[in-house]
Amino acid sequence: MRLLLLGCTGFVGRELVPTLIKEGHEIFVISRNPISKLNINIDFKKIKFLKINLSEEFNWKNNNFLEILKNIEGIINLTGEPIADKKWTLSQKKEIEKSRINTTKFLMKTLKEFKINPKVIISGSAIGFYGTSLSKEFSENSEGGNDFLANICKKWEAAAAEKPFFSRLVIFRIGIVLEAEGGALGKMLPVFKLGLGGPIGDGMQWMSWIHRSDLCTLISNALVDKKYSGVFNAVAPKPVLMKDFSKTLGKCINRPNLLPVPGAVLKLLLGDGAKVVLEGQKVISNKLKNYNFKYPLLEKAIYAATKN
């Protein structure tokens, strides 16, 4: 299948791109970041790359984006400014929103304007859709929250829903992706390896997670299996409390789990964004109950992510 990938130069893309190449797909990668960000061991002759920021205006005549789009059979859209990399200033919030919603709106508008109908469109979202809660359990049928991230996810999914009529749409509300190269685990590992690790906040907030390999397999399956349609929570079957996540991480890398990170410190670093980490959400997937996860249990997932 001839695929267009957006926002796949991060740590998820480092596994997703080689997976799709191995399965015989023809890959076109579009990103606002340079190809050097795609730090993977592949023959770059096997992919075509365009550096374009689709959330901004750009000159059609200076690239062959439209010609590529006309021949695409599937689209994977994971674009978006990272949520927890910087403090949520007003400008950062605008970038978080613009990078997701403007890009997706532009993509869908272009597809419909030029009557392009890919067989399948896979669009990212996040479990932030449900808002945060220390007690509620959320599934695909749960209502969305009302905080900043929940509203971003609602707008993001609404933009994706404006897809061409004949294209099958799959939306993955993605949980905390586990891999040593990035995300929450990537930030926690160096601290734990120094023997300074511990739970964030009081440790009683929920973490709904998925190993990167399982996420990549889900995306790969959704490309070709028509049973994938609509919204899916991309989370492993057993969410855990932060205190248990921290304890398991310490055990897996043989380091202590002694020094909790006070919530006040996190608020200084992330501002409003600290709420996501300090409150969390317990998310399950009713639609993936029969899916055979490679890493259904946290301990095995962390061992696999940190084995190198």
Hey, where are the domains in the chain? 2-179+210-236
pLDDT at 37: 64
pLDDT tens per residue, range 241-254 = 999 999 999 999 99
Q: How many CB atoms lie within 10 A of CB 259?
A: 14
**pLDDT of the residue at 42:** 67
pLDDT at 266: 66
Contacts of 88 (CB under 8 A, 6+ apart): 96, 148, 270, 271, 272, 273
Q: Can you give the length of the chain in residues? A: 308
pLDDT value of position 221: 97
What is the per-residue pLDDT for 251? 92
pLDDT below 70 — which residues of the chain? 34-45, 57-63, 265-266, 269-270, 273, 308
Supply the pLDDT for residue 182. 83
**Chain segment 124-149, per-residue pLDDT in tens:** 999 999 999 999 999 999 999 999 99
Token code pair at residue 34: 């340079």
What's residue 30's pLDDT?
87
Contact 250, 188 (CB under 8 A): no
SS3 of 177, please?
A: strand
Give the angle subtended at the CA of 221 by the CAs of 308 and 217, to the nearest 5°.
10
Match 């007690």 to its residue by tokens: 135
Distance CA 116, CA 122 (A): 15
* CATH number of this structure's domain 2-179+210-236, picked from the four choices 3.40.50.150, 3.40.50.300, 3.20.20.70, 3.40.50.720: 3.40.50.720
Please state, in angstroms and rounded to a whole number, the distance separating the CA atoms of residues 4 and 26: 9
For residue 232, the model assigns a pLDDT of 98
Per-residue pLDDT, 118: 97
Residue with tokens 């608020």: 267
Lookup: tokens for 224: 């070709």
